Structure 1
């Protein structure tokens, strides 16, 4: 990196530059060393005089600073000095004040480097200058910029790039501007859908991709839009689009149908999904695959219609389609939730027989099924089986076993599982894991133990929720520890957790029965003040505004 000698001023360097460079630097190849030296001087002047750069506003620099030298200076400032803002400043200053017509290489370098460095706004400014100077984006740079802006969430800029490229194609023809690759707009549409910009994706697809003369959508393009429509719960509209695909030279494939099947199942319309499954089979262009069957099976399982789910499960095996882990887990979970553990275990055995290894989801569903019918010890055996198979319980596995133990009043065992959970650094503790244990200890009158669990909960950075506070407030009231109940209520308000009507009425009622009318009145006032502060602040909201009725 070039730096000024100690004690040498910027004005002196400028004078030396003028002395050594009476003619354009690149006019003679033998002056290569002088060129390198001059570029270093210019870089140093940039650093020392930024952000004004007024030292360059002279006839000398206007005469001798050419696009080649400007490129070298911008490159060194951008990369060697790691100063993209200054590189852009020099680029803009020389373009505006010295009338330097920057080369395509300069534009290409800035447009490639700025997005990679995270300076998308600067890249947009450079792009605007490039258009004004009459340069065209080649396909590689166009594709790079579209995806860079889209990945940064600047979808409007990416969309403008598409529109500009379309206009260039229409005006200049394919000789100067090539057709837009399906890879680009497919990825752009996919990003929009992924970022929940589904309406924007649909609008862009209809207004630009379908109508553009330089875009030729394929089946993959349609599938992305179909996925977006189904994602927002509109499989009926997706079905209309699927039927319109052949008008645009595309035919739906198994992915198209699977997308709609899954979309209908997501909104509970499994009968329609089943019709589409039969439509695939009747048309005979391609057979339904494991995803087709699994989507319908999962849909029926979620509805608890296990007869239909089992029939399709048997059908897929008879047709030579091997169920995968997702299929088995869906059926096992469906039977477990209906309490049919005999059928759930039969599917589990079939799973092992077909060589499909179970995962933690499999065991969690089996544990849940056993616990639902009171067979908690069977669930505990499966807990041990998880570790035997070198798997790790997830947050839902813990929830299933903790809830089941609490229902059987085996609170110390449930607390031990909480301690295991607390030792796991890969699981973020949630209130729904602690609440059943806290509730169990409060109901049996052991509020001290409940308070211990609350402290453990807070030590793990797990914030108590409305249910946690309500359980503890009522638990302390039932033990006659009214001041602790009041303190817990005040803490609830202090952390911004809104009490509901049940909490307020129960606490006020208990205080009145305990002969503490003044404290009951203070609770009403505290809630009224909390309501006023929340309603007057735009940054906080009350989920249940009906709590005002509880303080009257």
Structure 2
């Protein structure tokens, strides 16, 4: 209760100390306090402390559940420790806990954000493993994948992922369209980007500041200032007007 209360009140130093001191008195904490503590430490990017708490939980025989593993994988991915994150998958099986779509999505996101050669190859391999385990990608999976391909300047692969997403009966949202529009604009495919924008609006999805910024940036790069100005003027016709 004490550790949980400290976490709820964002007093992380005290929560962390409480977790450590409980062992001194021989108290075995429960997941009611350990999981929120792990999650809060991840949010504060205290990855070293996240690893300590996880290892202590195992040492103290506090049985982790799926949420524990998902939070820990997220922390490792945030810290760029992707090899360790993959090792956790093996830990999960040893505990009789199996990864779900959230676990895989976290790892996919970690590799997409890592950068460097071969990151998307690894991401696709994870997705293939995911499907082999009969855990099917959701909107978050595809959004992450599309964004990763676009940032890797592989718009063709992003478009294929976009098509596959729809084949599987999943509906692209504003995040999906924004990633693809931005990728197309960065690759000079402005006509395709505008067509995608029209498709987005036709489906009842409302463009946001990210959408407009991508289009304006794309037109400016091509020195198509008249078109950029037209998109900018369209912003003022919306119900909201972003701070510029």
The TM-score normalised by the length of structure 2 is 0.88
What is the match of residue 255 of structure 1?
67
Q: Does 1:224 align with 2:36?
A: yes
Q: Does 1:285 align with 2:81?
A: no
Q: What is the Cα deviation at residue 235 of structure 1?
A: 2.4
Listed as ranges, the matches of 1:53-92 within 5 Å are: none
What is the match of residue 217 of structure 2?
403
CA distance in 2, matches of 1:342, 1:408: 20
Q: Does 1:243 align with 2:60?
A: no
Match of 2:29, SS? coil
Structure of larger gyration radius: 1
Pair 1:354–1:189, CA change in 2 (3 A): farther
| Equivalent of residue 146 in structure 2, options 316, 332, 344 | 332
Q: Does 1:295 align with 2:106?
A: yes
Q: After superposition, give the CA deviation of every residue in 1:114-168 in whole Å (9 maximum; x if it has no partner).
A: xxxxxxxxxxxxxxxxxxxxxxxxxxxxxxxxxxxxxxxxxxxxxxxxxxxxxxx
Pair 1:419–1:248, CA change in 2 (3 A): same
Q: Does 1:192 align with 2:9?
A: yes
CA distance in 1, matches of 2:161, 2:37: 36
Counterpart contact for 2:185–2:215, Cα < 8 Å:
yes
Pair 1:234–1:375, CA change in 2 (3 A): same
CA distance in 2, matches of 1:422, 1:198: 43
CA distance in 2, matches of 1:270, 1:428: 37
Counterpart contact for 1:344–1:366, Cα < 8 Å:
yes
CA distance in 1, matches of 2:114, 2:185: 20
Listed as ranges, the matches of 1:96-495 within 5 Å are: 182=1, 186=4, 188-193=5-10, 197-207=11-21, 217-246=29-58, 248=60, 250-281=62-93, 283=94, 285-304=96-115, 305-430=119-244
Consecutive unaligned residues of structure 2, counting only runs of 5 or more, are none
Q: After superposition, give the CA deviation of every residue in 1:419-470 in whole Å (9 maximum; x if it has no partner).
A: 222233345323xxxxxxxxxxxxxxxxxxxxxxxxxxxxxxxxxxxxxxxx
Q: What is the Cα deviation at residue 366 of structure 1?
A: 0.8
Q: What is the Cα deviation at residue 329 of structure 1?
A: 0.5
Q: What is the Cα deviation at residue 246 of structure 1?
A: 4.6
Counterpart contact for 1:337–1:368, Cα < 8 Å:
no
Pair 1:201–1:428, CA change in 2 (3 A): farther
CA distance in 1, matches of 2:46, 2:167: 39
Q: What is the Cα deviation at residue 249 of structure 1?
A: 5.2
Match of 2:192, SS? helix
Q: What is the Cα deviation at residue 409 of structure 1?
A: 1.2
CA distance in 2, matches of 1:240, 1:306: 30
CA distance in 1, matches of 2:95, 2:164: 29
Counterpart contact for 2:38–2:53, Cα < 8 Å:
yes
Q: What is the Cα deviation at residue 318 of structure 1?
A: 1.5
**Aligned length, in residue pairs:** 241
CA distance in 2, matches of 1:190, 1:360: 33
Counterpart contact for 2:212–2:231, Cα < 8 Å:
yes
Q: After superposition, give the CA deviation of every residue in 1:270-301 in whole Å (9 maximum; x if it has no partner).
A: 222222223324x1511111111111111111
Q: What is the Cα deviation at residue 331 of structure 1?
A: 0.4
Q: What is the Cα deviation at residue 212 of structure 1?
A: 7.7
Match of 1:396, SS? helix
Q: Which has the higher contact order (CA 8 A, sep 6+)?
A: 2
Pair 1:273–1:249, CA change in 2 (3 A): closer
CA distance in 1, matches of 2:58, 2:143: 36
